[in-house]
Amino acid sequence: MTSERQAPAAASGHGGHGQGNHGGHGGHHHSHGHSHGGEDIDWAAMAAHLEREGELTLPELTGTARWLRGLTAGEGAGVRRVLDVGSGPGVAAGVFAQEFPGAQVVAVDGSAPLLERALERAAAAGLGPDRFTTVAADLPEDFGALGQADLIWSSRAVHHLGDQQDALNRLARALREGGLLAIAEDGLPLRFLPRDIGLGRPGLATRLDAVNAEWFTAMRAELPYAATVVEDWPELLRRAGLTPVGSRTFLTDLPAPLGPAARDQLHARLSRTREMMADDLAEDDLRTLDALLDDDSPHTIRSRPDAFFLTAYTVHAAVR
């Protein structure tokens, strides 16, 4: 069942922008934080994690929205409806609402708790129903609920769908003539500590990356309608009937020493990694993760002076 909901009346107070991230950048980001296969995620509990990551990358999200605005006709003047597909708690959707003041932004997600949080953020930012709404949609079944848009943004959501080319085809069909589709589906993995941290074997991050890559491949193989494609995103967009107009990478570089919010996010990410990779990591790497997560340990990520937050995501854009 899908529905479009309006944001409640604007509330007083300081309104945040929204991600997703990253994730992301729209809403969901990939660090073992999504429901893949049969994984049961408490999205209400995940909302804070997704919001915090989005807020850490607000400058990059703002840069992304401004870059995309420059790729639209009249610097966004003709953009009347924006879809954030896979919006999570609405961090990126809030950024797009700010950068496209003449548009209604629609946060699209399959999680009711995340959409509720997106509406709360919109209300806090003073965005009424003419500026911000949500659509509950479980894709690929509910692609028809999206309606037409002048700009579609999707960050790390297409990889949740078994047939990625089909997903891009459907998103392309949701664009109005001259509309822009922008996806963030690759980049660089997070780096957060030096190679040798004086604990366990050096090179922990590269081993985590290797296990994550194997996990991701297995996850994709288990998705409904799973289809293998060469993940050349501009070419996939071209096959969807669109004309690629550029790719750009956005870097998040928070050097040591980190502030509390970034440390909390690293702790949350490592906790999730520890949970998801417990059966695949060597015992010594598990012990290292446990020490980094133990607030009573001298090695805790919450107080290490050498902890940093460095990652990047690449956006691919194409027009209809």
- Ordered by where they begin, the domains of the chain are 4-192+227-255+310-319 (3.40.50.150)
Say whether 16 sits in a helix, a strand or coil: coil
Q: Give pLDDT tens digits for 150-165.
A: 999 999 999 999 999 9
| pTM summary value | 0.87
> What pLDDT is attached to residue 28?
42
What type of residue sits at position 123? Answer: A
Residue 125 and residue 9 in contact, taking contact as beta carbons nearer than 8 Å: no
Mean pLDDT score of the chain, rounded to an integer?
Answer: 88
Q: Give pLDDT tens digits for 55-74.
A: 999 999 999 999 999 999 88
Q: Which helix (H) or strand (E) holds 107?
A: strand 104-109
Backbone φ, ψ for residue 190 (5° rounding)? -65, 135
Q: Give pLDDT tens digits for 71-91.
A: 998 899 999 999 999 999 999
Cβ partners under 8 Å of residue 110, min gap 6: 136, 137, 138, 139
